[in-house]
Structure 1
Amino acid sequence: MKRLGLIIVTCCTFFLLGCEDNPVKEERKPYEPLTAIEVRVSTDNLTAPAGLVRAVGVTAIAHSANGVAQPDVELTLSVLQGIGRIGPQTAITDEKGQISASYLTIVPSGQSTVKLRAATAQVVGENQFIIKGVNPPSSIEMIPETSELTVSCNTNGIIRLETILTDSLGVGVPGVRLRYQISEFSDDSPVFGSISGGNITDEYGHAEAVFRSDLGSGTVYVTAFVDEVGLEEIFENVPLTVRILAEEPQSISILVTPNIQRPIHPDSLTATNISIQARDRNNIGIPNLRFKVNADIGMLSGSLLTDSSGILNVQHLVRPSEDVEHNGDFTVTICVELTDFGWSDIIELPFDIKRIGFGSLTLSSDRSYMYADGPGGSVAHFTAVVQDADGQLFFDEEIIYTTSSENWIIS
């Protein structure tokens, strides 16, 4: 009996080991029938100088009627209209039901349409986009917000630059790749800093970049190149200087004009001028200092760098009916900071909302006399205008029209 039990246990052990060595694979659930193929492109409109090579990203997506992704589907990609090529031409969708491809073309002159297709034997998907070839660039201009910046010790100075690329007619050239480089200004001025951003011109031929001093100081050249084959000789050099201020500003004054509380109309755009000056111990204005100015209500305009006299002029604009949540009096808080030196100040601008009463109600018509217009009666159009005592329009006021004639209908 013991021998029989041992045989049974041994057989069970072998059976279990056999199951572990040969696991049963789960059957893959059948996918829903493929009913649609969607073709997406990375841009609907591609604009670039004629003759340049450009690539457009293409994604083909296979899915069922319920939008379920269909993997392991072989798709054929082709160009129905256009002079470029697409690759790969045949591929199998991934687990998301997608295929990634690229359409490569030489930009033609003028405007043309490119049509692409992704298909199986039974299902087809198509999409199209526009290619517009423009004149090639002939000149480049780089405009820094300042050619010299003053910073404190251990501060990373920032200078923003705008690059403008134009053709022979002075028209901005879009869709062109740019490259920036920093080089030494002179033998005794070492290279420092870094530059980023602005790699492709926008629809107006503009691109923006930012130079960072990376705690360095001195003067360097920043060069903007056209980073396209055959156009590398189009470039411009701009010198930028970062100067470290030996000591902190000794005084900072703020002048607000007007500086008194005043009543304003809710719909009026009211301007307040703010002048800030930073001076050294000799009472001389410090140029090229960067201030940070913020307002909790309204908007600010103007440069954030002090001029040659050490003065920064900023204008604050507010329209109460649009910028203030309530209808009563309010106060604008403006924070002025010289972050490099840890200095800050608060400006408060109080405003009274002017209470203005009713002024006039004007009623006008497009007809002075009423004549019969035929069967069905005559029609005249009326316009009512409500104004306050200052001549400003009243909004959301109810107007009631009446007539003394029983034969008139107002609607």
Structure 2
Amino acid sequence: MLEEARARDAADPLAEYRDRFALPQGVIYLDGNSLGALPKATASRLSEVVTGEWGEGLIRSWNSAEWIGLPQRVGGKIAPLIGAAPHEVIAADSTSVNLFKLIAAALAMRPGRKVVLSEPGNFPTDLYMVEGLARQGLAECRLAPREALVGNLDESVALLLLTHVHYRTGALHDIAALTAAAHRAGALVLWDLSHTAGALPVDLAAAGADFAVGCGYKYLNGGPGAPAFAYVAERHHAALEQPLTGWMGHAQPFAFADAYVPGEGMTRLLCGTPPVLGLAALEVGVDLIAEIGVARLYAKSRELSDFFLRCLADRGPIVELVSPPDPAARGSQLSFRHPHAYAVSQALIARGVIGDFREPDVLRLGFAPAYLRFADMETAARHLAEVLDKGEWRRPKFAERAAVT
């Protein structure tokens, strides 16, 4: 398998991009679905912002360096990666905060309906935001298994809230089909694209999606805690009323009026002052992913994951695959079940193979094709087999749980 891997790496049209990332020696990084690797250009860009724009330009840089327009500019660059128009996307706040804004906005747009429909096991923050609104008497959370979602769409549902790529298993939802089903029931739809943006092709406009959110620190390589993004279809801009009416969402923020008047379009989705350093770093990552192209990244991701599974199969059935076996039905990750998955993940990290663990028993490996090689797949599969064959996960130092993200 190693010879095949080397041949495929030699023929890989994306191989040149690996050198555009800062990667530690001796590490195979399979956790880009939690935190993307650092683009080398990010450090110089941040130095320019800090020493030049901030250090020299000071407050003048809000205009001279166009800091004030960063949310719209970066959002506009994310837009084509998710099948949206530039004026329909804005980069701001965190995924959680943007979820709160858009869930509340959707509920206000469907008076008489309070149910937000989702599935058990959705990413926790998505459900927690609904719970927060429910405690205020504004929402009611209803959970249904994915096979029963359509059957639970009735006249009480204001919003269908789902994550496109399931964070634990990598299983995909059909955005177009579920959006159409929700619309037939008179409900709106909010898609969480945190494990989609920059990894999988998605066309929100073609699917008729209403709203979407996503983070900037996974496949967009914006850095830890990078700003998130929000999408609102243009047809909803006029009716959009978000609850966090901060000064940057005002129609004239520098008029300092006492009364709030919402800005035009996506501007009204802003809240506080834009995080300039975070947005500058995110812009570098977005530019790089756009240059490579999501379609090419997705194609290589599927090839990498299939090759990894072949390398594992070559060593016998050692772990249970919980991701869909069909690559067209999963995101850019593979998840495996093992009763001691946490200890296995720690043993792999000790060998320089960085994946992650999800409760209660899932080993999750992400495939960020911009900087991963086929040789990495062969080596990582070998390490996993050896960790299990030698029982390395049984060592006491791997048993104690640390915080994982």
TM-score relative to the length of structure 2: 0.20
The structure carrying a bigger helix percent of its residues is 2
Larger Rg: 1
The structure carrying a bigger strand percent of its residues is 1
Larger relative contact order, structure 1 or 2 (CA cutoff 8 Å, min sep 6): 2
